[in-house]
Amino acid sequence: MSKRWLILLVIFAILALIPLPRALAQSPADAVVEREFKTILAKDNAAMTEVHQWFHDNLANLKKSTEQRTALGQLVQQRLTPVRTTYEDFLAKNPEHTRARNAYASFLSQSRNDKEAASQWEIALELDPKSAVAWNNLGVHFGNLAIQLKELEPAQRAIANYIKAAEVAPREPLYLHNLATAIALFRDAAAEHFKIDRAQVLDRALEFYRKALDLDPKRFQLAAELAETYHDIRPIRVEEARRAWTRALQNARDDSDREWVNLQLALLHANAGDLVSARQQFAKASGKHYAELHLRLAKALGVPIANVTATNAATCEFKIELRRADDKIESVSTADQLVLSITVKSGIGGATVKKSSGVWPASVSLRINRPVLESFGIGNGTVTINGAAYAEQQAGRWHLAKGKTDEGELLPANSPLQLRVRKHGDNGMEIELPKALLTEKTDTLSLKWIDRYR
């Protein structure tokens, strides 16, 4: 089984914290209660943002000093305790406020109190068995337990909870997507739950992927993940997989997506032993966006590609500084592309890229060995963009910063400052920087990141 499945439930844990449409939420009892609830949510967000900033600003000291780590831990507890108390006071007065239960559970989960979070989701379900958010998040909880403990029972509970979420909200593609991924990941548990042979499990996963795609037919990542499922099916179903990748190609948003599909089709035909078709498909990929995979496939197929090398002279010179000594960074640059590959030991870090001469290449991207970034920020001295990124969802939620802690408004999808996210390898992501960030006056890029599972 591909390692790509192992990171997906982590992504869903982050997605579960994103507010869903109000149609899925409980109606407020009255305007006063609703205003109080919104105030608590604002306090929650402000506290978490400040805590993340403390970690970021004290990385060097935290690494060197046990006392500093202890002191910061106490400070974090002091900062979060009043928010927790506020939630508990509100729920004592409004015990049947399901939205508050779900929000409090998410707060507890972010505070690493997973068992308490699960208890709150269970209470929410006792109050409202049709709370799809709670069913989904319990699925996340048990899925994470299954990964950690490598046990069948929590995996079965994860699948059962995802099924309930999909039953309660059958028109929400996210829950069907989560269910499909859990089935593909926990194959023994899925076989037991559905009373089917293990060889039939991936067909069941494909069934739910298709249902999700029917509800969101233009979503590239859904179509691509459906097609990728065929890589794990033996014997290889070449025609079915080819049709799935053709549909993904129709949903492609840009040259990067199209290149990914063409490379995957080349891989499909190569694995099936059809080297002629593999080479024909490979010829449609430039190697601009996935140079590493492009090179590996070229070697496997015996195709010379002198135009894609890691030793071409760069048109700009730059210096890179990492905030953590145990992190590593490598760069590959050509006249058209700069790729910075960051390997981090801790989930909290940062870097500075200083250009000393030349111009930025047409394409600049960052690769990092993390599938989910709870917080990622990049600035050029004039503009700072903050948000969260999810490799498997090939998406981010980006805001223009207003000062140190205020995210500001969510960037529209067509903003020239949008960052593009795609998965890289089995357990990482690539973030493509917007050209609008790399102006002629941009000499320094400042990066910072926080991984939720640090």
- pLDDT tens digits along 108-158: 988 888 899 999 999 999 999 999 999 999 998 998 889 888 899 999 999
Taking a C-beta distance cutoff of 8 angstroms, is the pair 102, 118 a contact?
A: no
With a cut of 90, say whether residue 247 has pLDDT above it. yes
Percent of the chain as helix, strand, coil, to the nearest 5: 55, 15, 30
Q: How confident is the model at residue 248 (pLDDT cuts 50, 70, 90)?
A: very high
Report angle CA 309, 312, 318 to the nearest 5 degrees: 120
Structure tokens at 121: 């989701």
Whole-angstrom distance, CA of residue 329 vs CA of residue 341: 5
pLDDT at 232: 93
Average pLDDT of the residues in 248-259: 91
Q: CA dihedral in degrees (360, 364, 56, 412; nearest 10)?
A: 110
In the predicted model, is pLDDT for residue 27 greater than 50?
Answer: no
How many angstroms separate the CA atoms of 278 and 293, rounded? Answer: 14
* 309: its two tokens: 């090398």
Count H helices and E strands in the chain, helices first.
16, 11
Concatenating the DSSP letter of every residue in 371-416 gives SEEEEEEEE-SS-EEEEEEETTTTEEEEEE-BTTTB--SBPPTT-T
The CATH 1.25.40.10 portion of the chain extends over 3-196
Residue 436 has pLDDT above 90, yes or no: no
For the domain covering 3-196, report its CATH number: 1.25.40.10
Residue 323: the pLDDT is 74
49-108 pLDDT tens trace: 888 788 777 766 776 778 878 888 888 889 999 999 999 999 999 999 999 999 999 899
Looking at residue 150, its pLDDT comes to 86
For residue 318, the cross-strand partners are: 355
For the chain, percent of residues with pLDDT exceeding 90: 41
Omega into 416 within 30° of 0, i.e. cis? no
Tell me how far CA of residue 443 lies from CA of 292, 357, 420, 437, in angstroms. 27, 9, 21, 11
* Maximum mean pLDDT: which of 69-73, 240-244, 337-341: 240-244
Is the separation of the CB atoms in 367 and 342 below 8 Å?
yes
Average pLDDT over every residue of 287-303 = 85
The yes-or-no verdict on residue 370 having pLDDT over 70 is yes
The rounded distance, in Å, linking the Cα atoms of 146 and 159 is 11
CA 384 vs CA 56, 101, 157: distances in Å:
15, 34, 42
Q: Are 269 and 281 in contact (CB under 8 A)?
A: yes
Instruction: Return the SS3 of 317.
Output: strand
The pLDDT confidence band at residue 431, using thresholds 50, 70 and 90, is confident
Q: Indicate if the pLDDT at residue 218 is higher than 90.
A: yes
DSSP letter (8 states) at residue 226? H
Q: What is the pLDDT of residues 391-405, one digit of tens each?
A: 665 555 677 765 444
How many Å separate Cα 434 from the centre of its chain? 19
Can you list the alpha helix ranges (DSSP code H) found in 169-254? 173-185, 187-194, 201-215, 220-229, 238-251
Which of 188-197, 279-288, 405-414 is the least confident region?
Answer: 405-414
Q: What is the CATH number of domain 217-301?
A: 1.25.40
**6 pLDDT exceeds 50?**
no
- Output the DSSP codes for 178-200: HHHHHHHH-HHHHHHHHT--GGG
pLDDT digits (tens, 9 = 90+) for 346-356: 667 788 888 77
